[in-house]
Amino acid sequence: MHRFLISACSLIFLYGATAFSQSAKINWAKAADSAQQALTTQFWSNSENYYLHNNNGNKTFDYWWNAHALDVLANGYARTKDPAYTARMSNLLKGIYTMNGSKWANKFFDDMEWLALACLHAYDVTDDKKYKEVAQLLWDNISQGWTNAHGGGIMWQTGTPDSKNACSNGPAIIIAARLYKLNRNEQDLHWAKKIYEWQQTYLVDTSRGVVWDAFGNYNETGLYTYNQGTWLGAALELYNITQEDKYLQDALKTASYITSDQQKFAPNGILKDEGAGDGGLFKGIFISYLNQLTRSREVPRSNRTWYIQFLKTNGESLLTNATYRPDYVFNSDWRSRPNGPKTDGSIQLSACMLLEALAGL
Backbone φ, ψ for residue 332 (5° rounding):
-70, -25
Average pLDDT over residues 130-149: 98
Angle between helices 301-321 and 345-359 (to 10 degrees): 130
- Asked, for residue 104, whether it belongs to a domain, the answer is yes
pLDDT of residue 287: 98
What average pLDDT does the structure give for the chain?
93
Percent of the chain with pLDDT over 70: 93
Which amino acid is present at 192? A
pLDDT of residue 3: 30
- Asked, for residue 141, whether it belongs to a domain, the answer is yes
- Asked, for residue 329, whether it belongs to a domain, the answer is yes
pLDDT of residue 303: 98
pLDDT of residue 18: 38
pLDDT at 8 over 80: no
pLDDT of residue 159: 96
- Asked, for residue 213, whether it belongs to a domain, the answer is yes
pLDDT of residue 19: 37
Which structural domain, as residue segments, surrounds residue 282? 29-359
Residues 6+ apart with CB under 8 A from 197: none
Are 145 and 153 a contacting pair, CB within 8 Å? no
Average pLDDT over residues 56-69: 98
- pLDDT tens readout for residues 184-237: 999 999 999 999 999 999 999 999 999 999 999 999 999 999 999 999 999 999
Q: pTM (2 decimals)?
A: 0.93
Do strands 50-51 and 329-330 pair parallel, antiparallel, or not at all (unpaired)?
unpaired
- Asked, for residue 20, whether it belongs to a domain, the answer is no
d(CA 338, CA 291): 26
Per DSSP, what are the bridge partners of residue 6? Answer: 26
Confidence of residue 24 (pLDDT cuts 50, 70, 90): low
Whether residue 326 has a cis bond before it, omega within 30° of 0: yes
Are 178 and 138 a contacting pair, CB within 8 Å? no
Are 347 and 276 a contacting pair, CB within 8 Å? yes
pLDDT of residue 238: 98
Count the neighbouring beta carbons within 10 Å of the beta carbon of residue 216.
12
Cα–chain-centroid distance for residue 207?
24
Cα–chain-centroid distance for residue 241?
21
pLDDT at 57 over 70: yes
Select the more confidently predicted residue: 313 or 10: 313
Lowest mean pLDDT across 6-15, 122-131, 140-149, 240-249: 6-15
- Asked, for residue 5, whether it belongs to a domain, the answer is no
pLDDT of residue 4: 27
CATH code, domain with 354: 1.50.10.20
d(CA 24, CA 125): 32
Domain count, the chain: 1
pLDDT at 278 over 70: yes
- Asked, for residue 12, whether it belongs to a domain, the answer is no
